[in-house]
Structure 1
Amino acid sequence: MIKNFIKTAWRNLSRNKAFSFINVFGLAVGLTCCMLISAYLYSELNYDTYPVNAKQIYRVVLRTINGNATTDFPNPDVAVGPGIKSAFPQVLDYTRLTTNPPAFVSYETKKFKENNIIGAEPNFFRMFSVPLLSGDSKTALTAPNSIVITKAIVKKYFGNSQGVGKALLIGGVVFNVTGVIDKIPDDSHFHADIFTSMSTYVKPSSRQSWSNIGFYTYLLLDKNADPKQLEARLPILVERNVVPEMQHDMGISLTEARKSAKTFVFFLQPLTSIHLHSAARFEFEPNGDIHYVYIFGALAIFILLLACINFTNLSTASAAKRSKEIGIRKVLGSAKNKLVSQFLTESVMLTLLATVFAFGMVFLLLPYFNDVSGKQFTFGFFLNYKALLLAVGLTLFVGIVAGIYPAFFLSSFKIISILKGNGGSQQANKSNLRSSLIVFQFAISTALIIATFVVYQQLHYMQNKKLGYNKDQVLVINDGYVLGNNIVPLKQQLLSDNRVVNATISDNIPTYNNAGGTVIYVKELADKGSRSEIATGIYWVENSYVPTLGMQIVKGRNFYPPSPADSISVIINEAAVRDLGIGNEDPIGKTIIRSGQRHYTIVGVIKDFNTTSAKQKIAPLMILPVGKPVGNLIVRVKTRDVGKLVSDIKTKWDAYSSGEPFSYSFLDDKFASLYKAEERTGKIFTSFAIIAVIIASLGLLGLAAFMIRQRVKEIGIRKVLGASSGSITFMLSKEFLKLIVIASFIAMPITWYAMSKWLQDFAYRIDIQWWVFLLAGIIALLVAAVTISFQSIKASLANPVKSLRSE
């Protein structure tokens, strides 16, 4: 019986090549999208699941509250981890990580700059289930100046030799290699090539403070522990440890310190939720976004639905053509369930064929998809047994879902109606269903077109928003600190070059996200009993910093050239003025007190500028004069031949350096890199919007061809009676175009709501313009018109004699 079903199905598919191709190609495209997006979602949802006890690991996050604004820091102070473990028995262990700045690493004649260096506790590798290829994980990071490195670093510096037992010079300090790992898994929220021992930096005699930041702290909880109950008890530790520190460091009363501590909150974040749910400052790496998981998951489902709708539409539309076959089968005694099985077999065969094509398309499109998504999938990922089982299950599911309605519809034809030649009337009653499905298809397509426009508008807005500084023609010479005192003469040489407008030295550069932090308040307000403490970032700069980056002092003055008189001066931004509560007063001359009871006099207010991307609200910032210039050399240039200037700067660098490589970047390139996630989203929306339109158009093309074939005699009669080709084309097209207009009106309010929600993630965002909806509707209408007109014009130009010959 099965063999007969398959043979009959193959004959029918071969007989209707055009419809079969449209169905197979549409399903293949839908399955390809579904497979690629599923791989992306699998990767995103499985971040940080590699530790054996991943579900028991939580990261401690510090939240500071400034009025209605909150800021999360994923790296609380040094004493937080051991303090929580000693206070609560349900905490089995803790480990800490800390970031190290990029450094030059050398071995014999080899010297490279390494950017991924992290300080770690000795128990880190055991808690995170990272095995050592060589060395002892229990002791590898116990001694100061010991390091564990990846296999790639071993090969880079030592070739085929063993790494353990050798030594690397990092930033001028000797570190002994005590262990080697393969690598940190790709699906981790942090990565490093070199792990240095925490004891190198944290000495037993170091102050064990609670109220600053710097150490990414992870807790391993007992499997029966309730993290929410533990979190609810953390304020006890704030009262016991943070309050006394605030009282001492800020020079305030115990009562005031307790008030301040209410703005200082610890909470626990599950390890497996960091990648998709954390938006804290100073993350190791940019995280993902759970909203994109929802969006792309919906895209996969909708595109697959479009392909299934094509199948349903074309199958029901072709019912009249198969009505006699169904009638004869019924006369010969075929039961309804056998007919249903026959049509479902055809559907599953189509889907199986489409799946084979889908795997081929995945193979061809994978490099592009990796580029767009930022992932590194191989084709082998789709060939493992789990993926293959999922593909088979998806094939059967899609085959049954896409074919179940046509199967029951076709098998329900009445024998008498069929044999009288009225099979077509039965399927004509289903035109409302087909119309609804067309509306649904083009509603999705129009929605994706609108979403694509909004994403690109928001991206363009952020990239072109007034930032408070001029990012163009700014050259950043990296690693200036390696020159030591020679960085100042290099800067002076550059200033004498007429191609250089200005130059300054600082480690703090907009987009670099490396500002320090502290807590501040205004002394004059505190004396009146209305003190408002806020968390703020810190930039250390020269007086040439503001003019070099094209910033604007809106009140007061810039720093003087280096002098003792300015050593206690501070410039704050407009956001700090507002949050400190002095927006209605003249801030110039007022005294800022920061943690440690250090006093500064406000000499200027700088116009707000974005230190990070425009996705985040501008935070309070205090700018302090640097005593000894150190860091990157920031140069504003004016020349068309930037390559020649860079070459000349390298020559000057080489004259001062002792072999350290010269490297540079442009500030506008760094700025553009902040929006990779949004650019990726825009590309994905564009790709899938095009795919959705193609699938919908294929279905419309097939349906239009079939419906026109059903009316070929009517068209012939109209032409004989004098109807023009244009009027016939319009007649055949208008019914479909009405459906596209309805689809556009349905898509518009739904997409407006969805994209408004998406835009709420951005502190600075566009207003969605009405013309976006109009343009998307026009594009959908034009695509449909071109698709339908191809068949309509062909039918209207046909010789009516051929269509009426049999009458």
Structure 2
Amino acid sequence: MIKNYLTIAWRSLSKNKVFSFINTFGLAIGLACCMLISGYLYQELTYDTYSENAKQLYRVNLSTIGNGGTDVYPVVDVAVGEGMKNAFPEIKASTRLGGMQPIFVKYQDKQFKEANIVRADSNFLQLFSIPVIEGDSRTALVEPGSIVITKDLAKKYFGEEAALGKTLIVGNQPQKITGVINKVPDNSHFHADAFMSLDTRAWHQTWSNLGFYTYLLLDKHADPKKLEAQFPQLVAKYVVPEIQHDMGVSLAEAQKSVNTFIFSLQPLTDIHLHSHTKFEREANGDINYVYIFGALAIFILLLACINFTNLSTAASARRSKEVGIRKVLGSLKNNLVTQFLTESVLLTTLAMAFALVLVYFLLPYFNDVAGKNITMQFYLGYKAVVIELLVALLVGIAAGVYPAFFISSFRILSVLKGNSNSQNSRSVLRSGLIVFQFGISTAFIIATFIVYQQLHFMQNQKLGYDKNQILVINDTYTLKNNLVPFKNQLMQNKQVVNATISGDLPTRSGDGTQIYLKSSNTNAAHSEIHTSIYHIDENYLATMGMKMALGRNFSASSPGDSSGVIVNQTAVKELGIGNADPIGKTIVRSGQREFTIIGVVKDFHYSSAKEKIAPLMMLYGYSNGSVILKVNTADMSGLIASIKAQWDDYHADSPFSYTFLDDQYAQLYVAEARTGKIFTSFAILAVIIASLGLFGLSAFSIRQRVKEIGIRKVLGASSGTITGMLSAQFLKLVALSIVIAVPFTWFAMHKWLQEFAYRVEIQWWVFAAAGAMALGVAFITVSFQTIKAALANPVKSLRNE
């Protein structure tokens, strides 16, 4: 029986090649989209689950409350982790991870700059279940001066030689290789090419500053919320005395930190999707995008299923006599339903096979857009294949159940006379599905417009500085005593407008610290704020095109500027200075070091426009800085070649390298650019699927009206009139879908824009342009069929009458 069903199903699909192809291709696109996004969602939702201790590991976060806001940090001071472990028995272990700046690593004659080396406690690899393929994970990081590297890094420096036991020079320090790992798993919220031993025995064991990513391993039965409730007693015991000493305040004032200095625990598996502080080890994902992309996948698949239902129902008239004859010959309704469901499942199985082929070709592009590393093996594994077959079965049943019951319900006498069930009910269904399809497609088009508008706005808004033609010469600290002569020599080039030495660029936040405004009343409460720190020289502001609002810039002829500070306008506001003149006032940094405000720089964006401008203080001097050039030239390659020649003359300890500030600025918006590409891709796919359905329905509808068209032409109707008449019924439905899609899309995109501190206003023309595109695509889709019908010879369509 099953073999008979399959044989008949295959014959039926072969007879209707156009409809079968449209159904198969539409379903394949929908299934391929779902498969690609399922790979993305799987990776996003399984971050940090690779560790055997994943459910028991928690990161210690710090929240500070002040000035009407709360700052959250994923890093805490050096003594916090071990101190918590010693205080509470339900904490089984603690471990720390410390970031490092990019640093040169050398082995014999090989030297490379490594940007992904970290420091870690000796138990870090064990707690995170990162297997050591050479060496012992229990002892690899115990001794100071030891380092564990990845297999790829070992090959980079040692080729096929064994790495274990060899010594790398990291910066100026020798590090003995005591272990080799394969790599940190892709779905981890941190990655590193090497782990250096973290030895903090000589450090002050303090609690009130920032420093390390700290993780706690809790007992299986521990309640993290109950544990958090006991943390204030640690603040009272350790943090309060430090604040009293560092800030020079009374004990009563320092004790307020018990309520404003808050330690909390964040589950390890929540970090990637739910933590978005500016001090994250890496850029995390966002749970909202998981919801958005999951919804996109569902909608794309719905469009494909709707295509199937719509086209199958529309084609039912062609099989009405077949159904009638089968019933006359004794076929039961259940047999007919099974037959048509078999055809539906066969079609979805073919579509799934086609979808796998599409995934194979689209996966590299998708990985590039989504920033993932999904392999084809993910879709060809045993479990994945079983799921894919089940999806094909379920989609086939879900998409085919209505057509199956609809077709099998035809009345025998009606169909044998040439009539089927009520045309009106079918027409309403098909019309409703067209409205739904083009409503989704229009929503995608609108969303794409708005995403790119926001991206363009962020990349081109007034920043408070000039990022164009800013050339950054990296690693100039390796010039040592020749750094200043090198900069002065570059200044003699007519193509160089200005030059400065600094390690801080307005594409990153710099170091951070707590400051407050000093008051003449020693017993007065201090309003402490967190601020970023830039270390600059007297040429920095001019090179960057930054403007002073009040006061003056640093000057090489003013020795007192070493204790002076320039702050931005936001810092003045948050320090509570108000309308008073801030020049000459004193601010106190943690550790009671005092600085006198000599100038106020106008606010500029020194991070992504997703964030509000935060307080900033600029100190005079530089360390390990880069030479930053403002240039004016049409021959950039020639200028760079000239600079490289001068660099080589100084015989620096590092190779010549450079970047452009505008390129670094663009990196701030990689996530938004990816979102734009994904929305564009899905908008195109949604329009293709909807157009396929509309093409099939228009072909069917026009075929049903061939004789009507012939009579109209005989009676004098022009080809243009007939084309307009036939197109109008579909364009009206598309116009209705636009009207329905607009308010829903406006609401969704308005919510999305709330994530940005600086954002565009949604303009009316976006909806008009998207609607015009949807109507244009619909018209082009149906015009081929309508024009062909309008130009047909009426004699051919009427000769059978």
Q: Give TM-score scaled by structure 1 length.
A: 0.98
CA RMSD of aligned residues (A): 1.3
Task: Name the CA shift for 1:442/1:385 in 2 (closer, same or farther; >3 Å).
Answer: same
Counterpart amino acid of residue 344 in structure 2: S
Match of 1:507 in 2: 503
Q: What's the CA shift for 1:64?
A: 2.1
Match of 1:438 in 2: 434
User: Which runs of structure 2 are paired with 1:548-567 in the superposition (5 Å)?
Assistant: 548-561=543-556, 563-567=558-562
Counterpart amino acid of residue 540 in structure 1: H
**699-708 vs 576-585, which deviates more?**
576-585
Q: What's the CA shift for 1:653?
A: 1.5
The separation in 2 between residues aligned to 1:4 and 1:277, in whole angstroms, is: 54
Match of 1:759 in 2: 753
Answering whether residue 460 of structure 2 is matched by residue 464 of structure 1, we say yes
Structure 1: runs of 5+ lacking an equivalent:
none
User: Which runs of structure 2 are paired with 1:193-342 in the superposition (5 Å)?
Assistant: 193-199=193-199, 202=200, 204-342=201-339
Match of 2:672 in 1: 678
Counterpart amino acid of residue 524 in structure 1: S
What's the secondary structure of 2:519's corresponding residue? helix
- Residue deviations 1:9-38, cap 9 Å, x none? 111111111111100110111111111111
Match of 1:426 in 2: 422
> Are the equivalent residues in 1 in contact too, given 2:151–2:183 (CA < 8 A)?
yes
Q: What's the CA shift for 1:427?
A: 4.0
Answering whether residue 528 of structure 2 is matched by residue 533 of structure 1, we say yes
Once the two structures are aligned, what percentage of the paired residues are identical? Answer: 63
> Are the equivalent residues in 2 in contact too, given 1:320–1:427 (CA < 8 A)?
no
Q: What's the CA shift for 1:377?
A: 2.0
> Are the equivalent residues in 1 in contact too, given 2:250–2:523 (CA < 8 A)?
no
Q: What's the CA shift for 1:416?
A: 2.2
Q: What's the CA shift for 1:386?
A: 1.9
Counterpart amino acid of residue 578 in structure 1: K
Q: What's the CA shift for 1:58?
A: 0.7
Task: Name the CA shift for 1:68/1:437 in 2 (closer, same or farther; >3 Å).
Answer: farther
Answering whether residue 650 of structure 2 is matched by residue 653 of structure 1, we say no
What's the secondary structure of 1:55's corresponding residue? coil
Count of matched residue positions in the alignment of Structure 1 and Structure 2: 801
Answering whether residue 787 of structure 2 is matched by residue 793 of structure 1, we say yes
Q: What's the CA shift for 1:562?
A: 5.8
- Residue deviations 1:280-315, cap 9 Å, x none? 122111111111111111111101110100111111
- Residue deviations 1:757-795, cap 9 Å, x none? 111111111111111011101100111011111111111
Answering whether residue 504 of structure 2 is matched by residue 516 of structure 1, we say no
Answering whether residue 377 of structure 2 is matched by residue 380 of structure 1, we say yes
Structure 2: runs of 5+ lacking an equivalent:
none
Match of 1:599 in 2: 594
Match of 1:397 in 2: 394
- Residue deviations 1:544-579, cap 9 Å, x none? 111111111111111111642112111111111111
Match of 1:730 in 2: 724
**499-508 vs 698-707, which deviates more?**
499-508
The separation in 2 between residues aligned to 1:632 and 1:480, in whole angstroms, is: 5
The separation in 1 between residues aligned to 2:423 and 2:83, in whole angstroms, is: 74
Match of 2:137 in 1: 137
User: Which runs of structure 2 are paired with 1:764-775 in the superposition (5 Å)?
Assistant: 764-775=758-769
Match of 1:447 in 2: 443
What's the secondary structure of 1:224's corresponding residue? coil
**260-269 vs 271-280, which deviates more?**
260-269
Q: What's the CA shift for 1:525?
A: 7.7
Counterpart amino acid of residue 591 in structure 1: T
What's the secondary structure of 1:689's corresponding residue? helix
Q: What's the CA shift for 1:395?
A: 0.6
> Are the equivalent residues in 2 in contact too, given 1:330–1:415 (CA < 8 A)?
yes
Task: Name the CA shift for 1:262/1:738 in 2 (closer, same or farther; >3 Å).
Answer: same
User: Which runs of structure 2 are paired with 1:150-229 in the superposition (5 Å)?
Assistant: 150-199=150-199, 202=200, 204-229=201-226
Q: What's the CA shift for 1:729?
A: 1.0
Q: What's the CA shift for 1:629?
A: 4.9
Counterpart amino acid of residue 274 in structure 1: I
What's the secondary structure of 2:656's corresponding residue? coil
Task: Name the CA shift for 1:483/1:567 in 2 (closer, same or farther; >3 Å).
Answer: same
- Residue deviations 1:89-135, cap 9 Å, x none? 11111110001111111111111111111000000111000111111
- Residue deviations 1:215-264, cap 9 Å, x none? 00011111111111112221221121111111110000111112244332
> Are the equivalent residues in 2 in contact too, given 1:542–1:629 (CA < 8 A)?
no
Match of 1:545 in 2: 540
After TM superposition, the runs of 4+ consecutive aligned structure 1 residues lying more than 4 A away are 525-528
Match of 2:706 in 1: 712
What's the secondary structure of 1:219's corresponding residue? strand
The separation in 1 between residues aligned to 2:262 and 2:454, in whole angstroms, is: 33
Match of 2:409 among 384, 405, 412: 412
The separation in 1 between residues aligned to 2:127 and 2:112, in whole angstroms, is: 30
Q: What's the CA shift for 1:526?
A: 5.8
Match of 2:606 in 1: 611
> Are the equivalent residues in 2 in contact too, given 1:66–1:579 (CA < 8 A)?
no
The separation in 2 between residues aligned to 1:167 and 1:504, in whole angstroms, is: 37
Match of 1:639 in 2: 633
Q: Give TM-score scaled by structure 2 length.
A: 0.98
What's the secondary structure of 1:786's corresponding residue? helix
Match of 1:571 in 2: 566
> Are the equivalent residues in 2 in contact too, given 1:590–1:602 (CA < 8 A)?
yes
- Residue deviations 1:652-703, cap 9 Å, x none? 2222234411111000000001111111110110011000001000000000
> Are the equivalent residues in 1 in contact too, given 2:472–2:658 (CA < 8 A)?
yes
> Are the equivalent residues in 1 in contact too, given 2:249–2:523 (CA < 8 A)?
no
Task: Name the CA shift for 1:561/1:668 in 2 (closer, same or farther; >3 Å).
Answer: same
Answering whether residue 692 of structure 2 is matched by residue 698 of structure 1, we say yes
> Are the equivalent residues in 2 in contact too, given 1:66–1:535 (CA < 8 A)?
no
Match of 1:803 among 793, 797, 800: 797
> Are the equivalent residues in 1 in contact too, given 2:533–2:616 (CA < 8 A)?
yes
Task: Name the CA shift for 1:56/1:526 in 2 (closer, same or farther; >3 Å).
Answer: farther
> Are the equivalent residues in 2 in contact too, given 1:119–1:195 (CA < 8 A)?
yes
Match of 2:62 in 1: 62
Q: What's the CA shift for 1:69?
A: 2.7
Counterpart amino acid of residue 476 in structure 1: V
What's the secondary structure of 1:111's corresponding residue? strand
Match of 1:353 in 2: 350
> Are the equivalent residues in 2 in contact too, given 1:121–1:197 (CA < 8 A)?
yes
Q: What's the CA shift for 1:583?
A: 2.7
- Residue deviations 1:496-534, cap 9 Å, x none? 111111111111111134x11111111138669463211
Counterpart amino acid of residue 504 in structure 1: T
Counterpart amino acid of residue 393 in structure 2: L
